[in-house]
Structure 1
Amino acid sequence: MKNKVLMLFLTLVLGIGIFLTTCMPVASKTKITDLVGREVELPDNVNKIACAGPGALRLIVYLNASDKIVGVEDVEKRWGSSGRPYAMAHREFKNLPSIGPGGPGRLPDTESLIRLNPDVLFMTYIDVRTADNIQSKTNIPVVVLSYGKLATFSKSLIKSLKLAGWIIGKDKRAKKVIDFIRAIEKDLKTRTRDISNRERPTVYVGGIGYRGAHGIESTEAKFPPFALVNARNVVDELGGWHHFIDKEKLLEWDPDIIFIDEGGFRLIKQDYQKNPQFYRSLKSFKNKNVYGLLPFNFYTTNIGTALADAYYVGKVLYPDRFENIRPEEKADEIYTFLVGKPVYIRMKKDFGGFGRIDLEKSSVKKGLPVSP
């Protein structure tokens, strides 16, 4: 009799154990491959996010997931929001806990990450070894995203939006963002694709931000706002991407129209005051064909600003092809879709906005940091 009771008891205990094992919720895992080829195991539900590295936080804002952010880099607070539309639209970031210093080449603080314990840490501009090391120290899944080599509208950017969107349950929004960017690219290129070389003026852009603000010598080949409207960029002959050129080379090119990245405007104006004859020797300055562009190279590419700049470049170069475009309104349409708010007026207040530049009279309130 005792043996029967014991067997019945053991059977009951075993049955309860099986029931609890099968019915209680289990934290399942999902494996993905990030943009540097690492296989990363993630929880099915990602509700808390941290972002580190140039442009990582921006992509999450584009995905309408700013409410999931639990901490930000110190530079997001120290720099203020100027020059970064995603930060202008989301002032709440400045009140979030720190995850480390931030800035180019600076890694997040592992103790801060452990304390905040996000479900995933999105990072950019790091290699496999660094990502694995941070993940090992914190036990937090690290997913590496990428803007691509030229930090513009590359396949890597599209893959990053798709991957991050899928991870955080924003895959539909990711598709909308990708479709939005592609539609603008198509519109810009369609408006300008059949313009003959003879009808296209030569152009140059100076003052390009590159790990800080620079003067007229800082320029780019394959400059996105030029490439998107099929402009004749004199720097393209150099190949590559970013360049610091000699001023003599600019005199040799003597482009029809010069655009100035307003992030470097203050440095250019200071240089003009020291050496006005150089600038007056350029036909673009003689003919008052110098125009301002909003800076988009700040903590890597602000995609929305680059697209807005492209519409303004198109309006300057080919006004008949962009007759129905009001660049300021177009900029706010782009900003509203990508970051949630129209911030062109704030960008204009800080940097000068779209318009003709007169180095004798023009001024701007702010510039990009010289050493971010």
Structure 2
Amino acid sequence: MYAYYGKEKIRMQPLHLLMERGHSCKLADIVKKCLRLDLLEKVTMKKNSALMMVVLLLMAVVLTGCASDDNQAATRTITDMAGNTVEIPASPQKIATMTGPSYEMVFMLGGKDKIGLVRSDHATGYPLALLTNSDLPNYPTIKGVGPQTPVNAEQFLDAGVDLVLYYNNAAELEKFKMAGIPAVVVNTTTTVPTTTEEYFEQSSANLKLLSEILGGEAVERYEKWYAYLTKNVELIAERTKDIKEEDRPVVYWGNTWGTNILSSYSRGTRDFEMELCGGTLVAPQEGGQFPEINKEQLLEWNPDIIFVDNHGNAPELVIEDMYSNKNWESLSAVQNKQLYRIPSGVFFMDKGSTNTLVLLWTAKVLHPDLFADIDMIKELQYYYSTFYDYDLSEEEAQKILEGWVDAENLVR
């Protein structure tokens, strides 16, 4: 159903959805205003009688519930990762997890029953997501969602979501606002850490925000995760603090698209993480989210180690190509067979909550002698049992370390 205010066509949300989202008192305010003669004259419907029936129904159902709703605080205000002040449901029940790691983080925080819409690639393309959550294939899905993709707010209204976790895209966020759906920005980095304290704050900010949004058990899970992160960072820092500069391997991190190893990341957070793990990162200083270098630059850097992540869906092809392609035969990493595929995760392991595992893995790759006692199989089993409530077998853990991804179904 649509209402017209002046010349603007506005979709009216179903009453039961508005009531579920805790908007009854706001709805009552609208009803009261619409009952004023001057506003009624401005509102037109295809059938005026239908409008009056709606108004009477709202008066009967909505106004009687306002006193109790006021007492129960149906909404609350939070500040998201972009600094936006957003009014959200006090207890969201149908969350749309649209940014890359957002499904993994909500799931890790114990919010699987509060997920109301997922990206289609999240529902089909990540074997570990399916392994840890048997309900995932039953969630409503949406295709074609990305940082710069135009939003169709109708799809979110039809799914009945009461909160959207989204990218920092002002134009698309405005569409959610116009549709009356709260949208919270997550996974936005605003500063580059230079100290351990800054790193803790930045790397935990998204999970902390989501735990506060979910409340209850999520807060306890976040605190346990933060303790695990702290333990790992302090352990790594203690062991790498005295490594001399000449003993720190030079590392290039390829964010591959297809078989293109020249797509990367700007230095940002990875710079601090690589230093923490006892390495020296070579990367573009700037250039957007996924800057691309040229072949000459990579040859000049001549890294000792190259990490190939799973973002581009074909890391094994990248590694095979680099070992066989004469363009790369002079690279130290190629000559010494030091190309490593980033392990897999419920999302990508180096994003979301599992980045703390990647720190351990990175430190062990860079300095195997210093971290010989770290058993990544056991670390993975602990993490999955503690934070995903799933008992991971040794075979499954080994597949994670080898890169367990369903590339065919990763298309958004």
Maintained 8 Å contact 1:213/1:371: no
Instruction: Give the aligned partner of residue 106 of structure 1.
Output: 149
CA distance 1:196–1:162, change in 2 (3 Å): same
CA distance 1:110–1:191, change in 2 (3 Å): same
Out of 233, 236, 241, the position equivalent to 1:193 is: 241
Q: CA offsets, 1:122-151, max 9 Å, x none?
A: 223322x532321321x2322222341589
Instruction: Give the aligned partner of residue 184 of structure 1.
Output: 232
User: 1:311, 1:270 → 2: CA distance?
Assistant: 25
Instruction: Give the aligned partner of residue 257 of structure 1.
Output: 305
Q: CA offsets, 1:43-79, max 9 Å, x none?
A: 33333322223322222122111111122223323x5
1:204 paired to 2:252:
yes
Maintained 8 Å contact 2:207/2:353: no
Instruction: Give the aligned partner of residue 212 of structure 2.
Output: 166
Maintained 8 Å contact 2:95/2:162: yes
Instruction: Give the aligned partner of residue 140 of structure 1.
Output: 181
Out of 86, 92, 104, the position equivalent to 1:46 is: 92
One-letter amino acid matched to 1:268: V
> CA RMSD for the aligned pairs?
3.8
Greater CA drift, 167-176 or 102-111: 102-111
CA distance 1:331–1:80, change in 2 (3 Å): same
User: 1:160, 1:304 → 2: CA distance?
Assistant: 9
1:310 paired to 2:355:
no
Out of 147, 153, 172, the position equivalent to 1:130 is: 172
Q: CA offsets, 1:99-131, max 9 Å, x none?
A: 55423433554233223323322223322x532
1:115 paired to 2:186:
no
CA distance 1:314–1:145, change in 2 (3 Å): closer
- Measure how far apart 1:232 and its partner are: 1.9
CA distance 1:276–1:50, change in 2 (3 Å): closer
One-letter amino acid matched to 1:279: W
One-letter amino acid matched to 1:277: K
Greater CA drift, 56-65 or 118-127: 118-127
User: 2:191, 2:411 → 1: CA distance?
Assistant: 21
CA distance 1:345–1:278, change in 2 (3 Å): farther
Out of 335, 343, 350, the position equivalent to 1:286 is: 335
User: 2:131, 2:168 → 1: CA distance?
Assistant: 23
User: 1:312, 1:299 → 2: CA distance?
Assistant: 14
**Long gaps (5+) in structure 1:** 1-19, 354-363
CA distance 1:56–1:306, change in 2 (3 Å): closer
Alignment size in residue pairs:
332
Q: How does 1:43-122 map to 2 (within 5 A)?
A: 43-77=89-123, 79-82=124-127, 85-86=128-129, 88-99=131-142, 101-106=144-149, 109-122=152-165
User: 1:142, 1:188 → 2: CA distance?
Assistant: 37
- Measure how far apart 1:318 and its partner are: 1.9
Instruction: Give the aligned partner of residue 27 of structure 2.
Output: none
SS in 1 for 2:119: coil
Instruction: Give the aligned partner of residue 321 of structure 2.
Output: 271
CA distance 1:281–1:23, change in 2 (3 Å): closer
TM-score scaled by length of structure 1: 0.73
Q: CA offsets, 1:233-259, max 9 Å, x none?
A: 2x15x4237543333333333333334
CA distance 1:338–1:104, change in 2 (3 Å): farther
One-letter amino acid matched to 1:80: G
1:175 paired to 2:223:
yes
CA distance 1:283–1:163, change in 2 (3 Å): closer
- Measure how far apart 1:287 and its partner are: 3.1
User: 1:271, 1:60 → 2: CA distance?
Assistant: 37
